[in-house]
Amino acid sequence: MIDLLMCPHTAYTTLLPVCPPLVAGIFERKDTKSYSLVFAGSNGYSRKSTYVFDSLTRTWQVSGSLPQIRGDLTDGIVCGSYLHALASLTKEFLSFDIKQGIWIKRRISFPPLASYLHLTRCSGTLQLVALVDAAHIEDDRTIRIWELSQKGNEWQELGAMPADMCASLLQQWDGLHSFKCVGHGEVVYFSTYDCTTFLAFNVSLEALAMAPNYRVCGQPAMLCK
């Protein structure tokens, strides 16, 4: 099978070096109306190379290799000049510097008792969303949002989801309490795993509200990053 990538603006098509990658992201350059694509890793960790596609030169370049970690990488969120990703098993925080072409293991602690970690981006800043289970008691479970500090060395809490909203969002799915979230503009959108309930958190106002149940062709809409 041949995997191709086509730019919707120029219709230019290129072969993908790896598919599917462990983590991917796109960096837009508004001044030149161009972009860079980053594809990192493939086939577990048998291939740890990072490939960068430049839309101006229409070429792929091999960049820095992924650090050795355990578990899969999740999210892949571009914020500023970095592509951020989480190692789900070890809770390691990795960032790819597009300017230097290297991966960085960030020395930053995650909030205690946090699980089901997600990264989002709102208003040009990076957020961490997680389920906090204080005493393994269902009524004490809360979903909280933190923002990465300007120095990039700590997570600063923005807010917590009320218990009733948290209960409506968390559902048993294959024995796990799972949810989805994605950032857009100033809002972090949440949904149940089956996308039947939606919530919205405004990062600037630090306000949470129910959101409409969007549907596409009669089916629940999906949250996509």
**Model confidence over 109-161: pLDDT tens digits?**
888 888 888 899 988 899 999 888 765 555 567 888 999 988 888 899 988 88
Sequence-separated (6 or more) residues with CB below 8 Å from residue 2: 15
Q: Which of 64, 55, 61 is nearest to 29 (CA)?
A: 55
Task: Please give the structure tokens belonging to residue 111.
Answer: 């909030």
Same structural domain for residues 129 and 202?
Answer: yes
Same structural domain for residues 66 and 115?
Answer: no
- C-alpha span between 6 and 15 (Å, rounded): 9
Q: Which residue has 């980053």 as its token pair?
A: 38
Same structural domain for residues 116 and 96?
Answer: no
Q: Which of 188, 195, 201 is nearest to 169 (CA)?
A: 195
Same structural domain for residues 218 and 183?
Answer: yes
- Categorize the per-residue pLDDT at 79 as very low, low, confident or very high, splitting at 50, 70 and 90: very high
Q: pTM for this one?
A: 0.80
| Total domains in the fold of the chain | 2
Same structural domain for residues 64 and 156?
Answer: no
- State which residues form the domain around 63: 1-106
- C-alpha span between 69 and 91 (Å, rounded): 10
